[in-house]
Chain A
């Protein structure tokens, strides 16, 4: 969004809110870089903070990336729920795959499936893709960003009858993520898609 001054002049309050949102979207990754620098040094001293600030500035100028649009909403409890479930899923997935690798009678039977996501936010789509890549038996093969579709490869799918359950588990992971940090728009989309699938089932 360029030319904030030349656009149709909104009310003063909304413009300052927009400016604050844009500032936060730049500031949070910046502070994340400083924090990473202090984590790598393993010390929380003023010296590490100051050198971190300088390096974060250099990195964000030299390796310029378009700003990430944050939703501005964060629910700590839901985020903990999402993280706990993610770790449990990673453990289950690792044990399953370790077992298929060592099982003498292993027979390959995989599937490629597509899942329609509710969100249109780039950040949430990325997080969902990463989370899905860690949970039981799936890897993201392709992402249709405009339509919000994930194409996944799933391991150990016995038959085509198991595919809907897998799709539901991916949608559930996305749902937990949206509830934790989605925008109001994503929440509305989520409610709409939930009521639609209920209507289809009933």
Chain B
């Protein structure tokens, strides 16, 4: 295989991987049962999907500017996504928007009794 052929295969694999992960994240957002579980779907598969698609662009179009931009995108996404999830999770816990019946342990309860929730 020529160099271009190898590159095409790598590109195709990365695009499919990214599409699959983003699809799974979307399904998780709908299927998971409460806000706190949905946040997991919104952060992790989404980050890996983004990494794959950005790596894909960098492989198919390798130049200094693409690669540096790819690093910047991945760095800031992986820095901000957990923080956004943290803010939503904190608000959801404190306002009682979560299902306590699917928790096997709740160590936070003694620190901040959630209020307003239907227990």
Contact = CB atoms under 8 A, between A and B. Distances in A.
Interface string B16-45: 000011001101100111101101110111
Contact of B33 (A108, A133, A140, A151): A108
B45 A97 contact: yes
Interface residues on A, range: 35 or more
A111 B31 CA distance: 18
B24 A160 contact: no
Given A42-B69, A106-B31, A139 B41 contact: no
Interface in A1-54: 36, 38-44
14 contacts: A40-B72, A94-B49, A98-B28, A108-B37, A108-B99, A108-B102, A111-B103, A112-B107, A130-B83, A137-B40, A139-B85, A157-B105, A159-B104, A163-B105
Interface of A: 36, 38-44, 90-91, 93-94, 97-102, 106, 108-114, 129-130, 132-134, 137, 139-142, 144, 151, 153, 155, 157-160, 163
Contacts of A113: 105, 107
Interface string B50-83: 0100000000000111101101100000110111
B103 A110 contact: yes
A97 B105 contact: no
Contact of A97 (B40, B78, B86): B40
B47 interface: yes
A146 to B, nearest CB: 13
A110 B61 CA distance: 42
B4 interface: no
B82 A140 contact: yes
Contact of A133 (B21, B72, B85, B106): B85
Interface string B79-119: 10111011001100100000100111111110110000000
B108 A112 contact: yes
A113 B108 CA distance: 7
A137 B45 CA distance: 11
A39 B75 CA distance: 12
Nearest to A100: B28
B47 A134 contact: yes
